[in-house]
Structure 1
Amino acid sequence: MSKSSNQYFYFLLILILGFACGKKDEKCEISSEILNQDVTLKVNRLEKDFFAAKSVSDFSYLLEENPEFAKEYLQMDLYPSLDSLAAELLAIHQDSSMRVLFDSVEVAFSDFSQVEKELETAFKAIKYYFPEFQVPKVYTFVSGFNSDLIVTDDLIVIGLDYFLPPAHTFQPELPRYMAERYDKPYIVPMIVMAISARFNQTNPSDNTLLAEMVYYGKTYHFTKAILPCTSDQYIIGYTPEAITESFENEELIWSHFVENELLYETNPFEIRKYIGEAPFTDAISTKAPGRLGRWLGWNIVDDYQFNQDVPLDLLMAEPDAEKIFRESGYRPRTGP
């Protein structure tokens, strides 16, 4: 994901883990004002209906009953007719390997109530901070590892096959360090991170590494504010050991950025070393986790919010990364 926000957020999402220690180990509290928001969520388990369908007419009926899903997810407009899409879906859902995949999803996600509850609470929190937020329709589906997550203003589709347990026989074709982050506890944080982009204002002319760092920092800060009871490891994506070591070496990490004058770097190849998806940040050390620029950005944004006492809506609306950095008073910690 980049600073720009598109209509869709197709996530082979590159989440990252957080810190189960240090300044982010805060008491979990959800206020009654949030919990009393008038939000009701019903997750539509479409994979059940689609695998129960037996004919072209059955699929045509499902497409007519779920027009947003058919248009945005299945891209019905690319087909010459509704029946042509229905015929293709019939063939896909009669495939034996897809049937086995569906059976695995049925076992792993037979009870989706906890995820649904967490997502409803998240929507209540977003509605509390951003009253204009409208709850989208939410569907689950078995995509055949074609799409993990789609989030638009009106629609969310969760490809449950991507979120089978990491040790499961069926796995998406992703590097292991990424695939490990596709698990049930990551579903709601991924969705909240995607939604955050619509509120995350940026300066389009600022192409510095600092701007990218602050963008991601705001993303993670937003997600933690909306999901205060979710462990940070499901928001930013390192192992607990990597989290601890990052805090222990924060001063060294920050020194690397300062001594190499990286904050105002605009070369995209250099920026990618610290922001892009990778198993480690090679420019610092093969033992340093990847995406350390994002991790530092979260620390900077947290300090800015704490020191300036900025409410979440105004924080997300602030496009000036330099201002956020300057007024954060950020200083590296010497340990957790």
Structure 2
Amino acid sequence: MAKQLEDNLHFEDRFNRKFYYLRLSVTDVCNFKCTYCLPDGYHPTEKKKPSFLTLDEIQRVTGAFAECGTTKVRITGGEPSLRRDFTDIIRTVASQPGITKVATTTNGYRMAKHVKSWKKAGLTHINVSVDSLDPKMFHQITGENMFHQVMSGIDAAFDAGFEQVKINTVLLKDLNSQELPKFLDWIKTRPIQLRFIELMQTGEMDDMFNNHHLSGVSIRNHLIGNGWILKIKSNNDGPAQVFCHPDYVGEIGLIMPYEKDFCQSCNRLRVSAKGKLHLCLFGEHGVDLRDLLAENGQRAELIGRIQGGLQQKAVGHFLDEGNSGMTPHLASIGG
């Protein structure tokens, strides 16, 4: 009976995977034009002004997830800091009982000015997208000449008291794939977890994928051959395989979605900026939750709908079979 009660406190799918981690998108707008995501910049899909989740709706959906075992919420976009109420969003999420990690993923352009207030509001972890340590290549990949602003923002995060900053680098053949030595030198004395993310195929990016996809296996082999050690994950960690080395302050993470059994340990769900539950970054229309976020008192129905949707979650994303699902680009549901 005790075991049954414990299970009832967690969202769980048909494959006995429990979900401790929510990726919550708060906008699909972005001000960068990254070649692997929005090479032509952000264009709204509707003529009218988009209606993204309000603070009240964010409070209700994160409260429901927290009640069912979620301990980590990552606030994503688009670029989440484009929301004028971004600091209030952090404070709202951090105030939910049971949420112990409040993270965000940002392109970093507003960090230098605002990261201290984000931390004060309750942000505990921060990821910054840095696809090259060469300013010209950074400009070429992101479409924006903001390398030095982003670097200043990372310094500001450490000054604000973050003990570690995670850096997301999309691995791109013939663009940044030769920069491993430079990246390793950068993290040798800095508490940075550098995460190389394999380029993922989406509906609008077939040519980009075919030209620039590179497996992370070669980097993993290099790390293991040079004394790097795989760390053990906690139950609300993301999908990265994280390696540490006694001679380095920093760490290396590898996210390799094309590897066999990548989805076996899936522990995260996604809610889009317009209130849809997405069971995977790739694959389906989503489950609309917004009608149950309009007012208090609907938490039981909201939890029931999420749990019901979870029973449709597939065993994996089938990327390795060339099926990129219905996701047009990574900004559309928060990456």
Q: Whose helix fraction is larger, Structure 1's or Structure 2's?
A: 1
TM-score in terms of structure 2 length: 0.23
Q: Whose strand fraction is larger, Structure 1's or Structure 2's?
A: 2
Larger radius of gyration: 1
